[in-house]
Chain A
Amino acid sequence: MTYVRLLRLFARLSALNDLAYRTHFVVQVFESLLGLIAALGGLALVYARTATLGGWRPAELLAVLGVFFLVSGTINLVIQPSMQRLMEDVWLGTLDFILTTPEDAQFLVSVQEVQLWKLVDVALGLALLGVAMLRLGAHLGFGQAVAFIIGLLAGGAIVYSFLLVLATCSFWTVRAPNILAIFQSMYEAGRWPISIYPPWLRATLTFVVPIGFAVTVPAGALVGHQGWQGIVGAVALAGALLVASRWFWTMGLRHYVGASA
């Protein structure tokens, strides 16, 4: 319960912060719409030449785009800025302030920074998913919806663990600040179902930078391209990565020397 209260507190704090910069909201809406136009433009170009892309119909790819926006919106809303802040804190030694509180440090560093305006991307993703579902309406069952939500949660956990591991590297090297950008630039590949990529790239996007699990698997579950094996695999990987990243985080913490040392 404390966690929920803390989460609300952090959200409120950053909301107060962000509400002072309202033009940022306009800029964010502009940038998100631009991203949407680019994404839809790409789809229009491709589907002007073909009816299905690697077995995916237009409405199904719209669902992929919806998940793509939803996941990136959520990551940029809280996880990415919090991890960026963690790396700065390690560098400056200000992580002391978090370590001296009685709450779990991993939880605090994961939610300490919220970029409120990124909710625009989340809303856009939900809207895209809505449109995709309306178009697919007839084929959508209850089982698929459940599989989709489980897949989405598992994908979120996988991406979170992955980013935590990347950020934890900063305990060993201060040169790391740009390391999170690796994920950002690889994430762009998630706009398209990863099944269309050549095997080496598909393997990278599944096991090295787990974008396939974050976007393609939940979207596939929603439109019925994904058997239960994919979802079970995603859940298993999510569990393993959560444990592994937790372990890595404790290891990193032991390396932390603090500002006063």
Chain B
Amino acid sequence: MKMLLDVYRAQFKAVLEEQFQYRVLMAIGLLWLVLQPVIYLAVWSAVARAHGGSVGGYTLAQFAAYFLAIMLANHLTFTWALVYWEGRVRRGLLSPLLLLPIHPIHHDIAATLMYKLMTLVVILPAAAGLVVAFRPALHPTPWMVVAFLSALLLATALRFLVEWTLGLLAFWVTRMSAVRQLYAVALLFLSGQVAPLSLFPLPVQTATVLLPFRWMVAFPVDVLLGHETAGQTLIGLAAQGTWLVLTLALLAIAWRAGLRRYAAVGL
């Protein structure tokens, strides 16, 4: 345990220095993270204004609150896993990581946490600016905040594991861009980033309950906005836990199989 903590401390320092090398790249990644919810907020605000100020039970201020929360949730759960796994396998960048006496996932967990911490410096002022620009309606009770934070924590863990496992596909697929794009489109729609899931047709809504995407971004946001009852919140947390266990098992299997394949490629 002590060793693991030391490893993380060392990783944090290394990542901090590494990330400072790529400030421009970081800023550009953030640009998209902020711009996307603003685009869809503008679209839905235009729709709501055309219908007397509300659509599907959302007023202008509620749309603002929703997309603002989506921006924060998306930022906190976001990872680079799908991008860097392609390079790791294709260009053999994984090899030095395998030489370390510790699972490479620890490196990535540390890097992801540090990245989020650093980018909060940009995200928080952006969020504050959007609050001033769009005046969201947000009145959570203390209990909703507690439920939101637990859901958000589980969502972060789940999305990290899902994207890391999906990244392992690079062991078998050489053109990861197609996988990445497919995943990005599914995530965009099914995790509520284009519109609140309650605005989707019913069959799609049912599908989102069974798929993992909703539990990675939309669920904590809905909890914070008070769209989930206490019972629904508990069921949602259970769904997140179930997906977490499933993904972890899949990750373990895929990691072993992938490593065997990687060794074969390197020979």
Contacts and interface: CB of A to CB of B under 8 A. Distances in A.
A137 B193 CA distance: 34
Given A45-B194, A186-B35, A200-B133, A178 B28 contact: yes
A163 to B, nearest CB: 15
A27 B177 contact: yes
Given A23-B175, A38-B188, A181-B28, A48 B39 contact: no
A196 interface: yes
A78 B178 CA distance: 21
B24 interface: yes
B51 A50 contact: yes
A198 interface: yes
A17 interface: no
A54 B177 CA distance: 35
Contacts of B47: 46, 49-50, 53
A247 interface: no
A31 B178 CA distance: 6
B119 interface: no
B46 A188 contact: no
Contacts of B133: 198, 200
Interface stretch (B5-13, B195-203, B255-263): B195-203
Contacts, number: 85
A52 interface: yes
A19 to B, nearest CB: 17
Interface residues of B, number: 34
Given A37-B185, A49-B56, A200-B133, A186 B46 contact: no
A179 B175 CA distance: 24
B120 to A, nearest CB: 20
A204 to B, nearest CB: 10
Interface of B, secondary structure class, is helix
B189 interface: yes
A45 B200 contact: yes
Contact of A45 (B35, B51, B175, B199): B199
A185 B28 contact: yes
A192 B188 CA distance: 16
B185 A38 contact: yes
Contact of A198 (B42, B51, B177): B42
A189 interface: yes
B195 A45 contact: yes
Range, interface on chain A:
35 or more
A239 interface: no
B43 interface: yes
B24 A196 contact: no
Contacts of A42: 194
Contacts of A46: 43-44, 47
B134 to A, nearest CB: 8
A31 B28 contact: no
Given A31-B177, A31-B181, A185 B46 contact: no
Contacts of B45: 196
B39 A189 contact: yes
Interface string B102-138: 0000000000000000000000000000000110000
Nearest to B34: A185
Contacts of A176: 24
Contacts of B55: 49-50
B178 A197 contact: no
A124 to B, nearest CB: 15
Contacts of B185: 34-35, 37-38
Interface of A: 23-24, 27, 30-31, 34-35, 37-38, 41-42, 45-46, 48-50, 52-54, 175-176, 178-179, 181-182, 185-186, 188-189, 191-192, 196-198, 200-201
Given A179-B24, A192-B42, 20 more contacts: A27-B175, A27-B178, A30-B181, A31-B181, A35-B185, A45-B199, A46-B47, A49-B55, A52-B50, A175-B24, A181-B25, A181-B28, A185-B28, A188-B35, A188-B36, A189-B35, A196-B43, A197-B39, A198-B42, A198-B134
